[in-house]
Amino acid sequence: MPPRWANRLLEWYCRPELLEEIQGDAHELYYREAKTSKRKADWKFIWNVIRFFRWRNIRKRQYQYVNYSIDMIQNIFKVAFRNFLRHPGHSFLNVIGLGVSFVVALLVGWWALHENSFDRFHENPEQIFEIKSHVNANGTIETYGAARFNINLAALPEVKSKTVLISGTRWPNELCFRPDGKSNECIYLFGIYAEQPFFSIFNFPIVSGNQNPLAEPTHIAISQKMANKLYGDENPIGKIIKIDDHYPVTIASVFKDVPSNSSLQFEFVLPWEVFAKMRGMQPEQFHNQFFPVYFRTSADATVEDLTAKLNSPSILTEDLKKDNVSYSAFALTDARLHGEFKNGKNTSGRIIYVQLFLLVAMLVVAMAVINFVNLTTARASNRAKEIGIRKVTGAQRGSIIFQFMGESFFVVFAAIILAVVTGYLLLPLFNQLVGDTILVTWKKPAVIGYIVLGMLIVAFLAGLYPALVMSRFQAAHVLKGNVVTRSAGAQHLRKILLVVQISFSVGIVIFTGVLFKQLDYIQHKNLGLNKDHIVHIEPTYKLLQKYNTLKAELLKNPQIKSVTATAADPTSINSTTTGVRWPGMTEGMNAPFNVLGATHEVADVFGLNLVDGRFFGENSLDSIHSEVVVSESAVKLMNLDNPLGTLIKIGDVECNIIGVIKDFHSASLKQAQLPIIVYRHPTLQCSRLYVRYEGETTTAISIINDAYKKAEPAFTMKYGFVDDAFAKMYKTETAASKMLMLFTAIAVIIALVGVIGLATYNVIKRKKEIGIKRVFGASSVQLLGLVSKDFVLLILLASAVGMPVAWYSASEWLSGYAYRIDMPWEIFALGFFAILSVTLCLISLQALKTIRTNPTEVLRSE
């Protein structure tokens, strides 16, 4: 016999009047071939079946005359609307269920579009690149968004223009500006320093004033918002601002506010010469230093190509090569979503969160659609008589399908309207949640297009199955009042759909649990230093000069415990150095260290634990060498048996190790701990002040503010908290976890609605069975067992699917952290039992209603 499926396929597609001869020929050939080789004959038969699939041979759909007259359509609408109103609970569940899932999809969609639109508002955005430098330090490659100031990009003909772009979050990027006429108040604003081509590389349109403001080293360009803040409605052009109360610059231009989907955020742009002046350096002194560098090419260029050229000897100079530095080009349009580097390779970035949430949104919608299908088909018997009448009066299957598809469109449309309105109203809240301002442009055809397309697809999928099932009802059967017999296939489908829902719920609950556990672990991990109750103050130069008076003033108050000045934030020392030399070091070893410059009180403020030796005293005891304290892992790396008194070199400075401290986390927990060297730093060269306090935060702040005003009356104090700054390092994760939490709740609720729907249906179907069993003396518990047995099996099956997926994705996510929790099995168990118990609870509640009713009532009917 030829392969059955191929034969069936032929019978399915072939025109009935041609089938006999075609099948006859095909079979004749098959049997002839089969005499020699059965396998070859099979293949040949399949091939022939495929080859016979020609337009001429295909069965055409028989033309059905469906009379879609206006009256009929009106009637369909009327009936749909009446049905909608007759079962308000059912309709409400349908519309709300779909609506909520659409809100999720809409918000996530907007957010994804927003994330995707980052840095694409520039002209030819794909022609803007950033230079990254990769430093190979002892085998691991660190990547920095910087290149040498005087990098010779002129050697590349395709580079049109380049600019250094000095950005940051603190002085000198955050400056105090004085509103007109006030000399002791500050408005702190962020800005950047750049070279002249800045405004031609990027698209930040200048609305008034000089179109090329950075050509003059005494100019400043400010945003409309900043102009408004400083001068109100007055024309700011030509006004003079004293930067740092020192360097006068003229406002040359006002540019349009930077949109929120720009990865560069700033309120003003200053020529980089001002930066040099503020640093007290000659411009030439900058030439060998590293700064962020951006450039624009004159035509499209690939990253690989540019990277290769950036590493040519004319650009990557010999001395850089010796220090194991290499350059690479990085597209600006990748900055937002693909900005993560691991060991010198561009790995991923925020994109994983965008993908994750798109997936979640899609699954939430899928779950709502499944509910819709289940709820609609479960109530099919309510409509059976109507369908029977329609068929008897001449409706064909096509028009019934049309009717039910129409109803599904009706519900989906209502849900979409509901979702768009709610989504739009919820957007500000959602913005808060993700910590961003999502730009929703209705003008973009893509948004409307996605919504309409999504609606069509969802309505089609949701309506198709119920329409096919209901249109199949036989008029003769249903009108005689026979209960609609349901095929085993429909039952299976229903169960499969429920398994999909539950497995997704189990998966997302567990994944969210793991994510929260890791974030909790980060928050509560012992970092090796204390980050609570520490205020960080942005110092001015004058304040640093008066450091000792300020400190004395502060310590007068018992609430203030200690004060220190440092050169970096100890919880995230962003600078690593490989320039450390020690006795017995292997030549060519390029070990990275985190170095922290600080005054002697740093150990007290941050609670650094001394293991050996001593910490800095108020004055240095070593008049020749600089005193340093190193961490235990630094001692281990340097392989020192007796570290105390050992002389090491940091750059050209001879240092004496006077103490050993416990390791602490000086960077995000995503990165492995580096060995640390703390050295004594002159107060005036420090850039941060830290104050540790006790008790009430608000009173502590007012004490600090008073002392600040005494020392620096002309400025407004700018402060923050160390634990906040620490939490900010995990901003993306935190925002993601909040979003995920919300969506998890929604997903679980939708799944539970599905469970209730199926449970109700099952119990109704088994009403008589339950009644008879009760008459024969079954107890409530036994009957509950009867109805919940199926569900327990389904949940087990769903967990078997959902858990491995959750495990895999959670461990993938966790692998991004150098310090992470072990896979928490208790969360798996908890998630499983939570879903199991909630489901069983709901089923029991439903079932009890039926079990409690007197069996005579159930059995009497009919």
* 641 makes contact with another protein (CB under 8 A): no
Helix 488-524 to helix 780-814 angle, to the nearest 10 degrees?
50
* 51 makes contact with another protein (CB under 8 A): yes
Q: How far apart are CA 631 and CA 673, in angstroms?
A: 11
Could you please report the per-residue DSSP string of 683-743?
Answer: GGG--EEEEEE-S-HHHHHHHHHHHHHHH-TTS---EEEHHHHHHHTTHHHHHHHHHHHHH
Stretch that binds another protein, among 47-55, 139-147, 295-303, 471-479 (CB under 8 A): 47-55
Q: How far apart are CA 71 and CA 79, in angstroms?
A: 12
Stretch that binds another protein, among 24-32, 204-212, 219-227, 321-329 (CB under 8 A): 24-32
Choice from 5, 8, 25, 845 touching another protein (CB under 8 A): 25
* 14 makes contact with another protein (CB under 8 A): no
**C-beta of 5 vs 81, nearer to another protein:** 5
**Least Cβ distance, residue 13 to another protein (angstroms):** 13
Q: How far apart are CA 589 and CA 396, in angstroms?
A: 83
Stretch that binds another protein, among 17-25, 366-374, 484-492, 690-698 (CB under 8 A): 17-25
Choice from 3, 11, 13, 22 touching another protein (CB under 8 A): 22
Choice from 28, 123, 706, 724 touching another protein (CB under 8 A): 28
Are 717 and 708 in contact by the 8 Å Cβ rule? The answer is yes
Neighbours of 820 (CB within 10 A): 18
* 15 makes contact with another protein (CB under 8 A): no
User: Could you give the 3-state DSSP secondary structure of residue 783?
Assistant: helix
Choice from 9, 23, 79, 250 touching another protein (CB under 8 A): 23
Neighbouring residues of 449: CB distance < 8 A, sequence distance ≥ 6: none
**C-beta of 45 vs 193, nearer to another protein:** 45
Neighbouring residues of 113: CB distance < 8 A, sequence distance ≥ 6: 444, 446, 447
51, two tokens: 């080859």
Are 847 and 758 in contact by the 8 Å Cβ rule? The answer is no
Choice from 7, 14, 48, 107 touching another protein (CB under 8 A): 48
Are 465 and 478 in contact by the 8 Å Cβ rule? The answer is no
**Least Cβ distance, residue 125 to another protein (angstroms):** 53
Shortest CA distance to 326 belongs to which of 84, 148, 125, 568? 148
* 484 makes contact with another protein (CB under 8 A): no
Helix 825-852 to helix 731-765 angle, to the nearest 10 degrees?
30
**Least Cβ distance, residue 48 to another protein (angstroms):** 6
User: Could you give the 3-state DSSP secondary structure of residue 272?
Assistant: helix
**C-beta of 20 vs 185, nearer to another protein:** 20
* 24 makes contact with another protein (CB under 8 A): yes
Choice from 16, 21, 35, 480 touching another protein (CB under 8 A): 21
Choice from 10, 26, 264, 763 touching another protein (CB under 8 A): 26
CA separation, residue 585 to residues 140, 576, 592, 642 (Å): 18, 18, 13, 15
Phi-psi region of 262 (alpha: psi -120 to 50; beta: other; left: phi over 0): beta
Stretch that binds another protein, among 14-22, 71-79, 119-127, 194-202 (CB under 8 A): 14-22
Strand 341-342 with 140-144, pairing = unpaired
* 29 makes contact with another protein (CB under 8 A): yes
- What is the residue whose two structure tokens read 């231009």? 253
Q: Which residues pair with 271 in a beta bridge?
A: 194
Stretch that binds another protein, among 6-14, 48-56, 132-140, 824-832 (CB under 8 A): 48-56
**Least Cβ distance, residue 7 to another protein (angstroms):** 11
390, two tokens: 């329609």
**Least Cβ distance, residue 38 to another protein (angstroms):** 17
Number of residues that bind another protein (CB under 8 A): 18
Choice from 11, 13, 27, 228 touching another protein (CB under 8 A): 27
Q: How far apart are CA 755 and CA 760, in angstroms?
A: 8
**Least Cβ distance, residue 17 to another protein (angstroms):** 10
Stretch that binds another protein, among 20-28, 60-68, 698-706, 738-746 (CB under 8 A): 20-28
**C-beta of 27 vs 239, nearer to another protein:** 27
**Least Cβ distance, residue 21 to another protein (angstroms):** 4
Angle, CA 779 vertex, CA 777 and CA 781 arms, to 5°:
160
110, two tokens: 């907007």
- What is the residue whose two structure tokens read 């059912």? 90
**C-beta of 28 vs 323, nearer to another protein:** 28
Stretch that binds another protein, among 5-13, 44-52, 365-373, 626-634 (CB under 8 A): 44-52
* 54 makes contact with another protein (CB under 8 A): yes
**C-beta of 1 vs 389, nearer to another protein:** 1
* 56 makes contact with another protein (CB under 8 A): yes
What is the largest distance, in Å, between two alpha-carbon atoms of the chain? 109
15, two tokens: 């025109």
Stretch that binds another protein, among 53-61, 389-397, 529-537, 681-689 (CB under 8 A): 53-61
**Least Cβ distance, residue 51 to another protein (angstroms):** 4
Stretch that binds another protein, among 27-35, 131-139, 332-340, 497-505 (CB under 8 A): 27-35
Does residue 172 have a cis bond before it (omega within 30 degrees)? yes
Amino acid of residue 94: N
Which residues contact another protein (rule: CB under 8 A)? 20-29, 31, 47-48, 51-52, 54, 56-57
